[in-house]
Chain A
Amino acid sequence: MNGQFEDRWKQYRWRLIRGEPVAAAVNHAIDEVLTRRVGAGEREPTLRFWDRLQPEVVIGRFQSVRNEVDELAARELDIPITRRITGGGAMYVEVPNVITYSLYVPPDLVAGLSFVESYAFLDDWVIRALRSLGINAWYEPINDITSSGGKIGGAAQARRFGAILHHTTMSYDINSDRMLQVLRIGKEKLSDKGIASAAKRVGPIRLQTQLPRQTIIERMIEEFADSYGVVDDTLSEDEDVAATNLASNKFGTDEWTFAIP
């Protein structure tokens, strides 16, 4: 991406939140709360790394639970199903096997870029961080981070509440058996990928570098800080309360999760 756009990152006073492990519904609620706060000018643009209490099946805003998830298997394994506020696809997430982060940014940062261009633009620092660790990574439009070893991660955006939420989940490791147990992965979805197995498409970071998960995260933060500057931050008490409420009133409810059954 050219320098004119790249320089825009530096006009903000970025905040970094290293998230506490919270329940699935709370993580999604934090995304909405922080997007609203940035949109309302009540919070500086923020980068948040997620932590989780438990495994989770996450589906996109517009996906059908029935089409994507084996609900019986998820229930038997006691794995909650949550619906994001962003589009994109279903994921099975285990705490030590993924790295998830969210950016909450003002629309100005990506003004003049198309939706598709903005995905690559907002994840460019991650590509740089991965490459600095010896991983041959690049962006594959619309929203994939991929590599010579396979797909590493996927991003999703929502443009709402006066701001942009851009969040990305990357595979550090993978539990293919469990993933195939809880997710339904149809043939049509893979029809233009030329690869028969969804598990084979994934190229977790751990297969490409021996470094621990936390080292990858620290390198990412370092890359972001060196490029754009960032100040450590936490959720305010007020944001924390708002997220807890939103988790119980929205993201934790069947009404939301089964909005498209």
Chain B
Amino acid sequence: MHGEYKTPGGKLVVADLDVLDGKIVGPVISGDFFLEPPEALTQITHALEQLPANSNEEEIAAAIRAAVEPGVEMIGFSPEAVARAVRRAVE
């Protein structure tokens, strides 16, 4: 499943994932955003793994926010932008 969201004035976020037993599995987040350090992408995808597929945007964004370590810089996108791309993939 595939979803995309272009942050207004910012960058594109792409979500590719599967849903199994009502849960998100194997999520891959990609796009033309900037992220420091790059390893934080793993924290973002871990936050999405096994999340209920019917989670709403706020819940998905909150899960990402909680998983991303302090000091991580998301430039041109946000937890909300990732959440929207994920919702679009699931829907």
Contact = CB atoms under 8 A, between A and B. Distances in A.
A binds B: yes
Contacts of A116: 75
Contacts of B9: 141, 192
Range class of the B interface residue count = 20 to 34
Interface in B3-30: 4-6, 8-12, 14, 16, 28-30
A46 to B, nearest CB: 21
B14 A64 contact: yes
A157 B34 contact: yes
B41 interface: yes
Interface in A230-261: 260
B1 interface: no
A191 B35 CA distance: 22
B49 interface: no
A160 interface: yes
A159 interface: yes
B34 A63 contact: no
A188 B5 contact: yes
Contacts of A191: 6
A186 B31 CA distance: 12
Interface stretch (A82-90, A167-175, A206-214): A82-90
A115 interface: yes
B70 interface: no
Interface of B: 4-6, 8-12, 14, 16, 28-38, 41, 73, 75-76
Interface of A: 60-64, 67, 85-90, 115-116, 141-143, 156-160, 186, 188-192, 260
